[in-house]
């Protein structure tokens, strides 16, 4: 636990954000602005190319902020998910549209979790941000991740933090909207709280992944 926490505190941790939509790109920008080397992952090459050339397509991102962190090398984007192996922390921010039964479709969560599985390594922190139902992190994601042979709380950390975007508001942003965080265990909660604490003004730890999922 001390290793990943220290990396977060001294900003030597490398961060990955999977999904560069209206949640993922602002999050990646804030983490890069905080001084972290950040890699954004997306399956759409057009989005990746726009990010890498400093072209903004999300209203809540300030054009000049994106241009500056791209120039500085703190943020870049790729479609090559294998580069997630170089990340210490990975936030999954993929869509969960409602299905025919008005339930969140977690197929993108499944495919994203499976795509990072071969590159999961010791002391990695995985955080799901996609809107979903309580139990997704513990009962759905965790069994997939543990097929790697690594165990949560022993080898890696797992948490949920609901995306907190408020499109159109000028008085709140990704940085200033309070961030709820729930961990699988105490060490996962500490790691996730440390991650968000360096980039988000107010972090609100809660008792579990399920509590954070229900808060959304």
* Closest alpha carbon to 216 in 150, 152, 163, 177: 163
Q: Cα–Cα distance between 33 and 68 in angstroms, integer?
A: 9
User: What pLDDT is stored for residue 165 in this prediction?
Assistant: 64
Reduced to 3 states (helix: H, G, I; strand: E, B; else coil), residue 176 is coil
H helix runs in 10-165, sequence order: 24-33, 45-52, 63-72, 107-116, 142-145
For position 166, what pLDDT does the model report?
A: 60
Compute mean pLDDT per 10 residues along the chain, 216 residues long, and list them.
Answer: 85 97 94 96 98 94 96 98 98 93 92 98 97 96 98 97 71 81 97 92 96 92
Q: How many CA atoms are closer than 13 Å to the CA of 214, on its beta-carbon side? A: 8
pLDDT tens for 48-96 read 999 999 999 998 899 999 999 999 999 999 999 999 999 999 999 999 9
What is residue 174's predicted lDDT score, i.e. its pLDDT?
76
DSSP string, 130-189: S---TTIIIIIIHHHHGGGS--BTTTBEEEE------TT-SS--TTTS-EEEEESSHHHH
Reading the block at residue 134, the tokens are 């309580």
pLDDT of residue 52: 98
Q: Which is nearest to 197 in space by CA: 58, 61, 13, 70? A: 13
Of the chain, the end-to-end C-alpha distance in Å amounts to 27
**Tens digit of pLDDT for each residue in 151-161?**
999 999 999 99
- Indicate the DSSP class of residue 148: G
Tokens for 102, please give them: 């008005």
Cβ atoms < 10 Å from Cβ of 75:
27
Q: What is the pTM of this model?
A: 0.94
């Amino acid at each position: 636990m001390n290793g990943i926490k220290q990396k977060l505190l001294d900003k030597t941790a490398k961060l990955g954000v999977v999904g560069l939509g209206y949640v993922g790109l602002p999050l990646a920008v804030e983490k890069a602005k905080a001084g972290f080397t950040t890699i954004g992952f997306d399956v759409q090459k057009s989005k990746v190319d726009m990010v890498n050339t400093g072209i903004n397509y999300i209203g809540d991102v300030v054009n000049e902020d994106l241009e500056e962190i791209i120039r500085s090398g703190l943020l870049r984007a790729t479609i090559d998910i294998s580069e997630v192996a170089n990340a210490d922390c990975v936030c999954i921010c993929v869509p969960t549209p409602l299905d025919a039964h008005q339930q969140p479709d977690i197929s993108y969560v499944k495919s994203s979790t499976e795509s990072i599985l071969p590159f999961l390594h010791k002391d990695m922190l995985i955080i799901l941000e996609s809107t979903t139902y309580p139990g997704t992190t513990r009962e759905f994601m965790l069994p997939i991740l543990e097929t790697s042979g690594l165990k949560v709380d022993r080898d890696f950390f797992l948490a949920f933090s609901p995306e907190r975007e408020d499109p159109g508001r000028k008085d709140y942003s990704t940085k200033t909207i309070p961030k709820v965080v729930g961990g699988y265990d105490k060490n996962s909660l500490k790691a996730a709280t440390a991650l968000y604490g360096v980039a988000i003004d107010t972090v609100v730890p809660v008792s579990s992944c399920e509590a954070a999922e229900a808060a959304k």
